[in-house]
Amino acid sequence: MNDIIKTIASERDLKKWRTAVYALGQPANREKRFLLLELLFRKKQKVLLRAIQAVGMLGLRIAASRLAYLLRFGGPYVRLAAAIAMKTCATEREMDELEEALSDVIVEVGIESSMAIAHLGGYAGLMVLVKAADSEDQIVALHGLYGIEEIKDPECKPHLLRLLEADRPGELRTAAASALAGMEPHSWIRQSIKCAMLEEEDDKFQLEFATALMRMGEDLSWLVLPKLKSPDANTREAAAMAIGKCFSEDAVAFLRELVKDPVADVRRAAWDSLATFYRAGKITELGKREKFPVYAEMVKHLEFEDNHYSIVQVMDEKDV
């Protein structure tokens, strides 16, 4: 087998592996890419996963049907890798497999499949996402809304507004608000989200509505700042994430305190918002303790627990 293909199948050094994949992307290696397809039929999982990732990086649509098969019948790792690769490789012929994957037991497979449908686009993709958003299964409905947010089609506005005003679970209503925030911010859309926010009793969901409004240019620091001092850790985390959309000196002062919070998720949310202000040039420096963590090199692995697979992100909290 060609040396480039051998490298993709066996090389542990990520830099060398990427170099081999990029080499296959060169016009001179067009015929050699077909050797890569053979790796998609290997039984050894490590080789199969590397091949799926390589196919996704190259965007080889010729591999779409095989990826669709793996998405339906592969193991948990393989299904997740196939769903990610489908974002660059899928064609309309694989729409049925992608739609079925929205209800996968691994939540992340459903999310990646919704992103693949959104990237595929077109009327067929939009209808699949709208149908999913109307599902009685809350997880499938959320995946449909994530895809709608990605696709940003104005045709979805009436549908999203209906979800916003309907008697549906808070996660669905806030996801609909987030999707609307990514579209043209008409005043009547803002007003609908604002009404939903004021009627919401749960602090977490109220903050998610506020985040959507702040993405549309609203200043809701008056609502968010007091919640940064909440005794509930989930509320503090949600408020710390939300305030990153609305800069103020008071917000920076609160966030500097929250980086010492005893709850790790609250500290990470505070770091993220401070980093957002720093990168935007709204604060010129961070204290020695406030050098934000290296999130770019997140380590992702699958954890088996109670017969359910989920992605766990291990973040490096060392200062840079």
pLDDT tens digit sequence for 270-292:
888 888 888 777 776 665 444 44
In this structure, the answer to whether residues 243 and 201 fall within a common structural domain is: no
Instruction: Give the chain's domain count.
Output: 2
Task: Tell me whether residue 49 is in a domain.
Answer: no
In this structure, the answer to whether residues 157 and 188 fall within a common structural domain is: yes
Task: Tell me whether residue 182 is in a domain.
Answer: yes
- 307 pLDDT above the threshold of 50: no
| Chosen domain end from 218, 236, 266 | 218
12 or 305, which is more confident: 12
In this structure, the answer to whether residues 163 and 226 fall within a common structural domain is: no
pLDDT of residue 186: 74
> DSSP letters of the chain?
--HHHHHHHH---HHHHHHHHHHHTSGGGTTTHHHHHHHTT-S-HHHHHHHHHHHHHHT-GGGHHHHHHHHHHS-HHHHHHHHHHHHHH--GGGHHHHHHHTT-SSHHHHHHHHHHHHHH-HHHHHHHHHHHHT-SSHHHHHHHHHHHHHH--GGGHHHHHHHHHSS--HHHHHHHHHHHHTS---HHHHHHHHHHHHH---HHHHHHHHHHHHHTT---HHHHHHHTT-SSHHHHHHHHHHGGGS--HHHHHHHHHHTT-SSHHHHHHHHHHHHHHHHTTSSS---GGGPPPEEEEEEEEEEEETTEEEEEEEEE----
Give the pTM.
0.76
pLDDT tens digit sequence for 140-159:
999 999 999 888 888 888 88
pLDDT of residue 34: 82
Task: Tell me whether residue 123 is in a domain.
Answer: no
Task: Tell me whether residue 46 is in a domain.
Answer: no
Task: Tell me whether residue 285 is in a domain.
Answer: yes
pLDDT of residue 117: 95
Task: Tell me whether residue 72 is in a domain.
Answer: no
Task: Tell me whether residue 175 is in a domain.
Answer: yes
- 100 pLDDT above the threshold of 90: yes
Residue 297: pLDDT band with limits 50, 70, 90 = very low
The residue segments making up the domain with residue 166 are 152-218
Task: Tell me whether residue 237 is in a domain.
Answer: yes
For residue 280, what is the domain's CATH number?
1.25.10
